[in-house]
């Protein structure tokens, strides 16, 4: 009997201990729910319209409603006019199908202010796996959403600005292309060709072949330092200067003694004038190289000045291709460069090419440049082609050497061929 009483006392002591443990456990969980910054609600899944049976302090802070105000209500009172119907539908489906769901939904506080609610709804199951309740965890993600929206606006504005710049550059590129020779002079016994390949929309290179008079054709090729917009602006200015409209910088000089009212300016005169017109400006650091020459058709004589430009390529009918060295300072570097005219005598079957350094300096992935020697080889191996095709072939050889679709610098070539009598 004594032993029985002892057992009972032990059991009731254990029960008391257990219930105190459970109480402590529950208290702790309740404190944790109340302490969390997030809003937490529990709804009764079996109740009519899934009513709230618990809301923590975080929910009160987030929404401005007191727990007393929301108990017994469905959480949809947080929604308003601008709440996305699709998100509501997504929530509704998940709740109906008793599965967890996370959404970002626009909600309204008691004072009517809006906030973005990152809401996770999870079913709570009993021992039989039946959903008895739902727990909802709510976080205010308004700041992040606002930042994302601002970013989207900035991105759209940037895209619009980019589109505008692209349009401007395209237009400028079209204007630049329009300054290239549309049609070339076709004097008896001669042929001309050109190739122009900007590395970006706008090029710092420019070139032209122009009639100066019945026996004279002017050829030039120029390469402005750098490339892109500022280089293109100068190259466009240059092609306007190097025109046959008589004027201060033109290829023709006003001359009252001449029956036409002008005379053809000598190449050295033209380049000297350019150098005067274009003194070095440390702010822009721009300068340009140029070959300007006049071909005398009857004499088969090319009289030219080089201003720091890469060598000419001379491909005689019989002999090997050779690089004709050119000297002189680029235009815009020194005040008195002392340019000198040179004369090249041409024979039937000869070809002459003026190139920009974008071609010889085109580098392969190892950094090795196409160079003068490969340029000469390319000129020789393509000599059986027409002049136009030959220029294309030379550029193609450089492209193969680089093993890349585009070049880092603008590439331009002007070709001249003295046709054979046959
Ligand atoms: C536990 C729980 C918490 C919820 N919390 C929110 C909430 O914070 N904001 C909200 O817009 N909807 C909340 N909802 C969803 C709505 O109560 C409702 O289920 C939803 O709007 C889809 O149903 P309806 O189309 O009948 O309104 C919650 C739902 C549950 C079950």
Q: Is the CB of 95 under 6 A from ligand 1?
A: yes
Per-residue pLDDT tens for 361-393?
Answer: 999 989 999 999 999 999 999 999 999 999 999
Dihedral sign of CA atoms 106, 110, 112, 113 in order: negative
Over residues 152-194, the pLDDT tens digits come to 999 999 999 999 999 999 999 898 888 899 899 999 999 999 9
Right CATH for 180-418 from 3.60.40.10, 3.40.50.720, 1.10.760.10, 3.90.700.10: 3.60.40.10
How many angstroms separate the CA atoms of 36 and 314, rounded? 85
- Cα 339 to Cα 329: distance, rounded to the nearest angstrom: 8
Residue 103 alpha carbon to ligand 1 centre in Å: 10
Q: What value does the mean pLDDT of the chain take? A: 92
| Residue 152 to residue 171: CA distance in whole angstroms | 28
For the stretch 245-293, pLDDT in tens is 866 668 998 888 988 888 999 999 999 999 998 888 888 889 999 999 9
For a mutational test of ligand 1's pocket, the pick from 46, 82, 119, 138, i.e. the residue with the most ligand atoms closer than 8 A to its C-beta, is 119
- In this prediction, residue 13 carries a pLDDT of 66
Q: Is the CB of 138 under 6 A from ligand 1?
A: yes
Residue closest by Cα to atom 3 of ligand 1: 136
Ligand 1 within 6 A of CB of 43:
yes
In the reported structure, the alpha carbon of residue 5 is separated from the centroid of ligand 1 by a whole-number distance in angstroms of 55
Dist. CA 119 → ligand 1 center (Å): 9
Distance CA(144)–CA(156), nearest Å, equals: 18
Phi, psi dihedral angles at 239 (to 5 degrees): -70, -25
Q: Which two tokens stand for residue 254?
A: 């006003």
Pick the range with the lowest mean pLDDT from 50-64, 270-284, 301-315, 335-349.
Answer: 270-284
86 Cβ neighbours under 8 A, 6+ residues apart = none
Q: How are beta strands 190-197 and 205-213 bridged, if at all?
A: unpaired
CA distance 303 to 306: 10
The dihedrals phi and psi of 12, each to the nearest 5 degrees, come to: -65, -30
Helix, coil or strand: residue 199: coil
Closest-CA residue, ligand 1 atom 27, reads 76
- Rounded to the nearest angstrom, the gap between the alpha carbon of residue 252 and the centroid of all alpha carbons in its chain is 42
Give percent of the chain above pLDDT 70: 95
Distance CA 275, CA 269 (A): 10
Residue 280: predicted pLDDT: 80
Of 34, 347, 76, 319, nearest to 189 by C-alpha is 347
Tokens at residue 158, please? 């940037």
How far separated are the first and last CA of the chain, in Å rounded? 141
| Chain CA centroid to CA 277, Å | 35
SS3 state of residue 348: coil
Distance CA 38, CA 118 (A): 10
What is the CATH topology of the domain spanning 29-140? Answer: Beta-Lactamase (3.30.450)
pLDDT of residue 128: 96
pLDDT(1) > 50:
no
- Inter-CA distances, 263 with 15, 258, 269, Å: 122, 7, 12
Q: Where are the domains of the chain?
A: 29-140, 149-178, 180-418
DSSP string over 367-390: S-B-HHHHHHHHHHHTTTS-HHHH
Whether residue 416 contacts residue 219, with contact meaning beta carbons closer than 8 Å, is answered with yes
Averaged pLDDT for residues 197-219: 92
What are the pLDDT digits (tens) for 8-66? 766 676 666 667 777 888 889 889 999 999 999 999 999 999 999 999 999 999 999 99
Write down the pLDDT at residue 127.
96
pTM of the model: 0.70
Tens of pLDDT, residue by residue over 214-230, are 999 999 999 998 777 88
Ligand 1 nearest-atom number relative to CA 107:
11
Place of tokens 């993600």: 141
């Amino acid at each position: 009997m004594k032993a029985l009483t002892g057992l009972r006392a032990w059991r009731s002591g254990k029960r008391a201990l257990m219930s105190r443990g459970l109480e402590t456990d529950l208290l702790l969980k309740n404190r944790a729910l109340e302490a969390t910054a997030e809003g937490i609600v529990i709804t009764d899944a079996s109740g009519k319209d899934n009513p709230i049976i618990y809301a923590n302090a975080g929910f009160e802070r987030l929404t401005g409603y007191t727990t007393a105000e929301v108990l017994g209500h469905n959480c949809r009172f947080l929604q308003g006019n601008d709440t996305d119907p699709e998100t509501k539908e997504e929530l509704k489906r998940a709740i109906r199908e008793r599965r967890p769901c996370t959404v970002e939904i626009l909600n309204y506080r008691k004072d009517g202010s809006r906030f973005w609610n990152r809401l996770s709804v999870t079913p709570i199951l009993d021992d039989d796996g039946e959903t008895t309740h739902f727990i909802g965890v709510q976080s205010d993600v308004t700041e992040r959403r606002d930042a994302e929206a601002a970013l989207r606006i900035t991105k759209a504005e940037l895209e619009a600005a980019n589109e505008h710049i692209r349009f401007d550059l395209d237009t400028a590129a079209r204007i630049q292309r329009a300054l290239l020779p549309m049609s070339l002079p076709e004097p008896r016994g001669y042929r001309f060709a050109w190739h122009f390949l900007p590395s970006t929309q706008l090029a710092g290179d420019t070139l032209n072949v122009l009639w100066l008079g019945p026996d004279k054709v002017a050829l030039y090729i120029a390469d402005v330092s750098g490339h892109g917009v500022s280089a293109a602006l100068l190259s466009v200015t240059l092609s306007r200067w190097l025109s046959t409209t008589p004027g201060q910088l033109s290829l023709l000089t006003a001359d009252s003694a001449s029956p036409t009212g002008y005379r053809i300016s000598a190449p050295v005169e033209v380049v000297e004038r350019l150098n005067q017109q274009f003194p070095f400006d440390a702010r822009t650091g721009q300068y340009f190289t140029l070959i300007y020459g006049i071909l005398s058709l009857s004499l088969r004589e090319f009289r030219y000045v080089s201003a720091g430009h890469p060598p000419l390529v001379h491909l005689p009918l019989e002999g090997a291709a050779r690089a004709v060295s050119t000297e002189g300072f680029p235009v815009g570097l020194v005040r008195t460069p002392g340019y000198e005219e040179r004369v090249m005598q041409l024979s039937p079957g000869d070809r002459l090419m003026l190139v920009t350094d974008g071609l010889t300096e085109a580098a392969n992935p190892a950094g090795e440049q196409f160079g003068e020697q490969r340029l000469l080889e390319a000129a020789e191996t393509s000599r059986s082609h027409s002049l136009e095709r030959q220029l294309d072939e030379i550029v193609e050889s450089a492209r193969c050497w680089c093993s890349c679709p585009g070049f880092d610098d603008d590439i331009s070539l002007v070709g001249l061929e003295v046709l054979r009598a046959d």
